[in-house]
Amino acid sequence: MDKRELEQILYSYPYVVAENKNIKLELERMEIQGVKPVSYDFKPKSHSKGSVVEEEVIHLDATRQALEGKYRQNEILIEKIENSLSVLDENEREIIKRIYFKRYKSKDIAQQLYLTHIYVSILKKTALNKLMQIFK
């Protein structure tokens, strides 16, 4: 993985977290409305086209399964990012979070943390190099 790909993953982190929260809410809404997994063992075995209700149930079940799959993919990415951040020291982790998750500029981070702009750049580069080794 190169630096650009890693940065895209890091920038996407807050959006992936938000997307998963929304997927979870949608799955809860579907469950409240009675959309639960379909047991295909009991599905009629006719060769004729199914009823509108059967088709809707099958469609909703497919939607639910797609949402569950996307949710799990996002969970895996979130866990990979969080696991990777755990190898960074506190300053490196804070720099990465502020730059990529909160979208702060390096000079603002330097002022907030009472560091030089150059030191923030060094910490960022060191952290990205460590993360690239993990995200191979």
One digit per residue, the tens of pLDDT, for the chain of length 136 reads 899 999 999 999 999 999 999 999 999 998 888 766 655 555 555 545 667 878 888 888 899 999 999 999 999 999 999 999 999 999 999 999 999 999 999 999 999 999 999 999 999 999 999 999 998 7
Nearest-angstrom CA–CA distance, 91 and 94: 5
Q: Tell if the pTM clears 0.85, that is, is over it.
A: no
Q: What is the average pLDDT score of the chain?
A: 89
Q: Which residue from 32, 127, 5, 13 is spatially nearest to 81, judged by alpha carbons?
A: 13
Decide which of 1.20.140, 1.10.3470, 1.10.8, 1.10.10 is the CATH code for 3-134. 1.20.140
Q: What tokens were used for 98?
A: 């502020």
